[in-house]
Structure 1
């Protein structure tokens, strides 16, 4: 269920009259999406979806499951959580770290917005300094969410990577969870880990300087957006908020199956193409990624 606060916030921030003229996709320096990449995106989206399920953030040590059927690939992999966290701090940052022996993955997943505390975090736009890079600023609410979970996540990643040195480390999340996953990946990279992040419908997280810094880090940045989802357009660019590049834009309306050819790739931290080209937006496009509605699993 979408909270009233989320609808009101989206309505205030997403207004307009129509869609801008579409542009030709750019793949400069970025490999196009093929069926293998699409399969990885789908698996990562399902790990992000699983973070909404209560059984995956209040019972560490069990199998990652979704009671609404939104993560069949995750369940088939028999991934188990190592830690699960549901913060009692002001940000209510929530998620899990899991070990997937089928795909040889260490997965750090963050839940999107469910609680009032999460929405207060989203609206905490103040730019604050961060230790990620010199002179870089970041969205205060998103950064504080990562700080609230960093100690537990970092300890789990250290333990799991030492025991499973060939496993790939990934962070993932939808909406607010995608913003935190971005910062988690950047910080873990600075600590010496090779990390890929996958975000779905994430808002802008930082200044252009930090966005460029994260873009240049090795590991892999996969920022996925969908159709006219309003959330990736906040906070606004005029407040010096930017996205990590590139954008993997799903050029497909709600309710339709996604194929590899439906992706357009756009580069640049101030990119105004793809999802940002829309003026009229739809909150349902934010809840629909690869045909699922992750927030259902919180019920």
Structure 2
């Protein structure tokens, strides 16, 4: 019995720490994600208070992505500090009812890139409202910086939208993987077939879903019937930015019991708004 128990533990541990994770870069991209919630007039000047100060060198060649009807938003810019094109999608803004409608719309629709794949209708609809702007802005900035790196990121709803951007940006990049794709507090995006398909792609050289302690969003929509949504692989799970600093586990496989699924009860809004120990709520409110 003891040997069987040790074997189980070893198998669990074996699925951790098997992919590349650059924490410094992930923190920088979290800063860009935080800034996405700010008023665009401050963003364009890179003068959005504490959010912009997370990346004090700022961006040039800035393009704001926005849909008035659904209030979907994001931006693209060039970071000379990273020599990278940064693509960012904004998460749910608490006072925008259109964002909440998108979050709560758990109906699945067919996904065009893979067979038997279905995705969250609300998230996909939000992304599609920005798709044409993304293609135009990315094409223009890529022509100006043809050899720069490419980073994609987003928090919460923005994380879900960033998943949908990956096959588009991959194609615009000549079917070559981008350099880094990190997102924060991402909900589940699609069904098991979608998650399996995404896991088999080579969209990014570095890729990880970063989750914080009892953040409830990574547990939604549920994996259980009748919802049956599934995460993709490559999870980086921080036990608590507030209480444990930067202590984390890496889980290669999705829905792993050592990462976010180790939390039986995940209902902390604070954890959703404290990635890397920052007070996201205060930063967002003071940059409008």
Coarse TM-score class (shorter-chain normalised) = 0.7 to 0.9
Deviations 1:84-110 (A, max 9, x none): 1332123x1112111111211111111
Deviations 1:120-148 (A, max 9, x none): 10011111012222321110011111100
Alpha carbons of 1:293 and 1:179: their partners in 2 closer, same or farther (altered >3 Å)? Answer: farther
Choose from 78, 101, 107 the match for 1:99. Answer: 78
2:177 matched residue in structure 1: 194
CA RMSD of aligned residues (A): 2.2
* 2:152 pairs with 1:176: no
Choose from 206, 218, 240 the match for 2:228. Answer: 240
* 2:58 pairs with 1:78: yes
Deviations 1:211-238 (A, max 9, x none): 1222222213211001111110000002
Alpha carbons of 1:136 and 1:58: their partners in 2 closer, same or farther (altered >3 Å)? Answer: farther
**Residues 233 and 252 of structure 2 are in contact (CA less than 8 Å); yes or no, is this contact kept in structure 1?**
yes
- Measure, in 2, the Cα distance between the counterparts of 1:297 and 1:132: 37
Give 1:30 shift. 1.6
Alpha carbons of 1:273 and 1:127: their partners in 2 closer, same or farther (altered >3 Å)? Answer: farther
- Measure, in 1, the Cα distance between the counterparts of 2:37 and 2:243: 21
Alpha carbons of 1:184 and 1:296: their partners in 2 closer, same or farther (altered >3 Å)? Answer: farther
2:242 matched residue in structure 1: 254
**Residues 15 and 253 of structure 2 are in contact (CA less than 8 Å); yes or no, is this contact kept in structure 1?**
no
Alpha carbons of 1:151 and 1:167: their partners in 2 closer, same or farther (altered >3 Å)? Answer: same
**Residues 201 and 226 of structure 1 are in contact (CA less than 8 Å); yes or no, is this contact kept in structure 2?**
yes
TM-score, length-normalised on structure 1? 0.81
Give 1:25 shift. 7.2
- Tell me the secondary structure at the aligned position of residue 74 of structure 1: coil
- Measure, in 1, the Cα distance between the counterparts of 2:88 and 2:238: 21
Give 1:59 shift. 6.7
TM-score, length-normalised on structure 2? 0.84
**Residues 249 and 258 of structure 2 are in contact (CA less than 8 Å); yes or no, is this contact kept in structure 1?**
no
**Structure 2, unpaired ranges of 5+:** 1-8
- Measure, in 1, the Cα distance between the counterparts of 2:199 and 2:45: 33
